[in-house]
A and B are shown apart, each in its own frame.
Chain A
Amino acid sequence: MITKRIIPCLDVRDGRVVKGVNFEGVKDVSDPVSLAEYYSSKGADELVFYDITASNEGRKLFTDILTKTAERVFIPLTVGGGINTVEDFDRVLKCGADKVSVNSGAIRNPDLVYEAARKYGSQCVVLSADVKRVDGKFRVFAKGGRVDTGLEAVSWIKKCVGLGAGEIVLNSIDTDGVKKGFDLEMLSVVCDAVNVPVIASGGAGNIEDFITLFTEVPKVDAGLAASIFHFGEVKIKDLKEEMKKRGIPTRL
């Protein structure tokens, strides 16, 4: 039985882990390499690194961090942020990433998903979608959730799966940073529409939110969160023990 994955997400800028609340008001948290090692030792099933750097120097710093992490942490690493070309895939894969997540880069050029899947395999290509309700419809937002692309989310996600995306990170802008639970409605709709793994992101505030996620939307494969892990509000070990107790398959 495949287990439900728990994935801490590290937003990295200028070599440090940061986390935005509703994508604004960023707080500095910790050193990414030691945080990654810590999470791995505590039972994290996977790690996501988002490069939210704008400068070239910052980008170099990010790949150095990635390399150091991959030398010490032996669980899957997904990398996203600033992935616009197949060369960007190459750059982070060489530094030890296992999967690469695309967001704005795929919106600008959907062929990127196809080209990358053909070159590295679908298992390597993760589509990350920031989705928000606009007039009762799910719409895809770009540039860290700031720009409404006008794209309808479910058809966009289905299109990318058709092009070769092997996994979806669905981040609900509506619930992100609010800590009142995952966006179960949005997740159900997306899980019913595609047959690739879906990772839930945005809204986890406590252990119970993960339990609700996996029981209410059984097709969801993983729960992703950042600040609640970084600030120790939810301990991965406690979370996984509770999952096991409640009959949710987990790696302990």
Chain B
Amino acid sequence: MIAIVDYGVGNLFSLCSSLKKIGADAVVSGDKKVIERADKIILPGVGAFRDAIAKLKETGLDKTVKEECKKGKPLLGICLGMQMLFDKSYEDGEYEGLHLVPGAVRPIGEVIPAGYKIPHIGWNKLEFKKGTKLFRFIKEGDFVYFVHSYYAADCSEYITATSEYGCPITASVENKNVFGCQFHPEKSGEVGLNILRAFAGEGE
């Protein structure tokens, strides 16, 4: 069973529907026990980093997620959920993350050339490392859907995919059993469903 962590942020409807579509057994829950019982965890998130991390900590689920991760349970952070995996974020201040992947979250405006719009919204090509577990059902150059204004920096050794937006932008990361996607697999059509299939463990 996959537990989608519900800490009161964002819209989990599409994520749930996409997991249902691929036949995965998924449960949306804010209950510590359910997350502990799950085989895999998905940490979603949209909106502002400060609010999201505060809510996650308020519910105490930050500790649950970290403990389960330490036991080796696969975790997938999506969009802001990925950004929260890092040490800290510089979105409107400086905030502590979950320290599950070394690195920091910074405004994309600091790296992309002038004339590129912010947020980075739309379909962009994935350029990924061969052999990346999450991408075993898709092919190089497949498109995924992004919506973000901040990106994961200082994490080069954990980057498994980038997308070109005037410069390479971190699209996904992996640190042992911890995975993160900056893009939205649940909004990336058949390619996205295939990424979720890989996380769900199809064909393993």
CB-contact partner of A121 in B48, B122, B165, under 8 A:
B48
Q: How many residues of B contact A (CB 8 A)?
A: 35
Check B119 for interface membership: any CB of A closer than 8 A.
yes
Q: What is the chain A residue whose CB lies nearest that of B164?
A: A1
Residues of chain A in range 68-115 having any CB-CB distance to chain B below 8 Å: 70-72, 74-76, 93-98
A176 in the interface, Cβ–Cβ < 8 Å?
no
* Nearest Cβ on chain B to A122's Cβ, whole angstroms: 7
Q: Which of B171-200 contact A (CB under 8 A)?
A: 184, 186-190, 192-193
In the complex, identify which listed stretch (B14-22, B35-43, B56-64, B70-78) lies at the interface while the others stay far away. B14-22
Is A197 at the interface (CB under 8 A from chain B)? yes
Count class of interface residues, chain A: 20 to 34
Asked if B192 contacts A195 (CB within 8 A), the reply is no
**Neighbour of B189 across the interface among A40, A71, A95, A123, CB < 8 A:** A40
- Chain B contacts of A183 at CB under 8 A? none
- Determine, out of B81-89, B98-106, B140-148, B153-161, the stretch whose residues face the partner at the interface: B140-148
Q: CB distance A221 to B122 under 8 Å? A: yes
A147 at the interface (CB under 8 A from B): no
Give CA–CA (A120, B52) in the complex, Å. Answer: 11
Interchain CB contact (< 8 A) of B119 among A74, A166, A251: A166
Contact call A119/B145, Cβ cutoff below 8 A = no
| B195 to A: closest C-beta gap in Å | 11
CA distance A242 to B124 in the complex (A): 19
Q: Mark B113-125, 1 if CB is under 8 A from A, else 0.
A: 0000111111111
Give the CA-CA distance A1 to B169 in the complex, in Å.
Answer: 11
Q: Which of B14, B122, B147 contacts A96 (CB 8 A)?
A: B14
**Is B201 an interface position by the 8 A CB rule?**
no
Q: B residues near A, CB below 8 A?
A: 11, 13-14, 17-18, 20-21, 46-48, 117-125, 143, 145-149, 164-165, 184, 186-190, 192-193
User: Which chain A residues have a beta carbon within 8 Å of chain B's beta carbons?
Assistant: 1-3, 5, 40, 45, 67, 70-72, 74-76, 93-98, 119-124, 166-167, 195-197, 221-222, 251
If A75-B187, A166-B121 are given as contacts, then 11 extra A-B residue pairs at C-beta distance below 8 Å, sorted by A number, are A70-B13, A75-B189, A95-B13, A96-B11, A97-B11, A119-B47, A123-B147, A123-B148, A196-B119, A197-B117, A251-B143
